[in-house]
Amino acid sequence: MKLGKLPRRDDARTLKLGAYLQPGAGPLPALLPVPPGCDWVRSTTAWPLYRNDTVADCTVVATAHQILAWTTWTGAGAAVPEDAVVAAYLELAGGDEEAGAVQLDVLKRWRAQGLGGHSIEAFVAVDPRHADHVRAAIALFGGCILGLQLPRTAEHQAIWDTNAPTDDDAAAGSWGGHAVVALAYDAEGLTVITWGAPKRMTWAFLEAYADEAWAALSSDFLAGGAAPNGLDIAALRRDLAEVGS
CATH assignment of the domain containing 206: 3.90.70.10
pTM score of the predicted model: 0.90
pLDDT for the residue 27:
47
Mean pLDDT of 29-52: 84
Answer with the residue of higher pLDDT: 26 or 124: 124
Domain containing 112 equals 34-221
The answer to whether position 76 is within a domain reads yes
CB atoms within 10 A of CB 126: 27
Helix, coil or strand: residue 157:
coil
The answer to whether position 84 is within a domain reads yes
Mean pLDDT of 35-64: 95
State the Cα–Cα distance between residues 206 and 72, nearest whole angstrom.
26
- Number of domains, the chain: 1
pLDDT for the residue 231:
63
CA 69, 131, 123, 193 dihedral sign is negative
What is the CA 240 to chain-centroid distance, rounded? 18
The answer to whether position 18 is within a domain reads no
The answer to whether position 22 is within a domain reads no
| Average pLDDT score, the chain | 88
The answer to whether position 116 is within a domain reads yes
The answer to whether position 7 is within a domain reads no
Percentage of residues of the chain with pLDDT beyond 70: 83
The answer to whether position 137 is within a domain reads yes
CB atoms within 10 A of CB 239: 17
Answer with the residue of higher pLDDT: 77 or 59: 59
The answer to whether position 38 is within a domain reads yes
Segment 187-241, tens digit of pLDDT: 999 999 999 999 999 999 999 999 999 999 888 887 666 677 766 667 667 766 6
Beta strands in the chain (DSSP E): 15-16, 38-39, 122-126, 144-150, 176-185, 189-194, 197-202, 210-217
